[in-house]
Amino acid sequence: MLRHEDIWRAIDALAKQHGYSPSGLARRAGLDPTTFNKSKRIAPDGRPRWPSTESIAKILEATNATIADFVVHFEARPSQGGTGKRLPLIRFAAAAGEGQFDAEGRPSGANWDELSFPDIADPHAYALAIDGNAFAPIFRDGDILIVSPLANLRRGDRVVVKTAGGPLSLHTLIRRGGRKLEVSGLLPGTVESGMASETVAFVHRIVWTNQ
C-alpha cells in the first residue's frame, strides 16, 4: 500500500542521498524552495498533502534517479515492534578491518550483530552503524546505513567501496567502467579519484539511512 509518510520519507532520503536538504533539492529541481517543507505536508484541517507527480519527476531528473531508485526508499522501511528480516549489523570502524567480508563481499566473522529491517528484497543486504563524524554532514555518529550488494549502481549513488587488502570507504559514484572505478567524496563538488578495477573487491550501494 502506498502511504503518505512513505512518499515524504522517500523525498527526504533522496535529498540526503545527494547532499541536499529538502528545500535544497526543490531548488535544484527548479521548484519553489518551500515545496517540500514539512509544514506543507499536512493541511491546516489535518488532511495529508501529497507531492505532485510533476515535482517528483523533476527531482528524479535533477538527481539522475529512476522511479525504482525512489521507490526503494519507502519500500525499505524500518520494522515496527521489533519484527522483520534480520540484517547483519556492524559498526563502520569494525567493518573497515580485515576479515569482516568474505571473497564475495558478504558479511563474515564474529563481529556482526543483527538489526530488524523488513521489506528489502536483497538477501545479502547488511547494515553499517556510523561511529564518529568523519563523514559529516552527510552521515553522522549513530546513523544506520542499509547497504544492498545487489542494487543497480548509477552515477550519484552513495556507495560502500572495499579495495583488495585496503580499508572500507564511503564515496559518491561517478562512473564504473571496465578498467576503472571513478568516485568522489560524499559532498557534491568534491574531488574525483579513480581506482583500477582489479584493486576493487566490491562496490555496494547505500539504499536507505536511518537517523
Domain count, the chain: 2
Same domain, yes or no, for 68 and 38? yes
Domain assignment present for residue 68? The answer is yes
Same domain, yes or no, for 95 and 196? yes
Same domain, yes or no, for 91 and 45? no
Q: What residue type is 92 in one-letter code? A: F
Domain assignment present for residue 138? The answer is yes
Phi, psi of 179 (to 5 degrees): -110, -20
Same domain, yes or no, for 177 and 126? yes
Domain assignment present for residue 80? The answer is no
Q: Which of 38-42, 78-82, 102-106, 114-118 has the lowest mean pLDDT?
A: 78-82
Structural domain that includes position 32: 4-75
Same domain, yes or no, for 114 and 144? yes
Same domain, yes or no, for 35 and 115? no
What is the pLDDT at residue 66? 80
Same domain, yes or no, for 71 and 91? no
More confident: 74 or 161 = 161
| pLDDT, the chain, mean | 86
Which of the listed residues 12, 40, 75 is the one where a domain comes to its end? 75
Domain assignment present for residue 101? The answer is yes
Same domain, yes or no, for 93 and 164? yes
Q: What's the CATH number where 122 sits?
A: 2.10.109.10
Q: Give the pLDDT mean for 108-125.
A: 84
Q: Give the pLDDT mean for 139-153.
A: 90
What's the rounded Cα separation, in Å, for the pair 128 and 132? 13
Same domain, yes or no, for 28 and 55? yes
Same domain, yes or no, for 9 and 93? no
Same domain, yes or no, for 110 and 144? yes
Q: What's the CATH number where 25 sits?
A: 1.10.260.40
User: Which range among 13-22, 54-63, 129-138 has the greatest average pLDDT?
Assistant: 54-63
